[in-house]
Amino acid sequence: MQVTLRIQRFDPERDEKPHFEEYQADVEPTDRLLDALNYVKWYVDGSLAYRRSCAHGICGSDAMRVNGRNRLACKVLVRDLGNPITVAPMLSFQLIKDLVVDMEPFFAKYRALKPYLIADDPPPEKERLQSPVDRERYEDTTKCILCACCTTSCPPFWANGDFYGPAAIVNAHRFIFDSRDHGADERLATLNERNGIWRCRTVFNCTEACPRGIKVTEAMEDVKRALMLRNI
Ligand code: SF4
Ligand code: FES
């Protein structure tokens, strides 16, 4: 089948502002949008810029706005997207070129919430044990691939780019509720600040956008409850 792609283009060396261009791609109905983008890049216009790596929904690098919704290009089939398909970069991040945005501020927020085990007790001889029930507490948020679909679909983040945003909080959740971790108070104190968890308005865009099916809004509510119960 032939599909028309309306792709937002922007070359900082030539263009004053972004604009849309149309391309035809020969694809199978069961091809992913990423295959259609590859067709355009490989056979029509090699200057098209977008990120991708694994092509299997694991690396999180090909998040973009597809018909107005954040999606991974490698996880949506062209037959499910209608014709034409409109493709644009994620909102709220600085545009670098075409579909490529600057992710550095996103990762800075992720790092700021200390997404690693903080354990100040002496390490055991073998490993830090945990019961299956305790492990289950944060199972859902271990699935994050840091694609930023949630954060860039979040209206409070559109309004205030200093908000940590759902993705950073999902990854804080993964350690706040880990029974072996001792850094929860520190992370929760940061999330109690001006640009922390209370900016969340439970819009649920984040949950809808997550390609890993993580209950993002529920994780945000877990963190709010933890803050209220600890009264930090
Ligand atoms: Fe992507 Fe989901 Fe992680 Fe957000 S929570 S960064 S949407 S995988
Ligand atoms: Fe890795 Fe799509 S290319 S998630």
- For residue 209, give the ligand 1 atom closest to its CA: 7
Sequence-separated (6 or more) residues with CB below 8 Å from residue 222: 173, 177
Q: Which domains does the chain have, with CATH numbers?
A: 2-101 (3.10.20.30), 104-229 (1.10.1060.10)
Sequence-separated (6 or more) residues with CB below 8 Å from residue 107: 146
- For residue 147, give the ligand 1 atom closest to its CA: 1
pTM over 0.75: yes
Residue 51: predicted pLDDT: 98
Q: Which ligand is nearest to the CA of 152?
A: 1
CB atoms near residue 58 (< 10 Å): 12
How far is the C-alpha of 115 from the C-alpha of 113, rounded, in Å? 6
Q: Which ligand is nearest to the CA of 146?
A: 1
The stretches in the chain having pLDDT less than 70 are: 232
69 CA to centre of own chain: 12
Q: In angstroms, what is the span from residue 34 Cα to ligand 2's centroid?
A: 9
43 CA to centre of own chain: 29
Give yes or no for residue 145 CB within 6 A of ligand 1: yes
Residue 197: predicted pLDDT: 98
Q: Which ligand is nearest to the CA of 55?
A: 2
First to last CA, the chain: 58
Residue 232: predicted pLDDT: 64
pLDDT tens, 64-93? 999 999 999 999 999 999 999 999 999 999
Residue 56: predicted pLDDT: 97
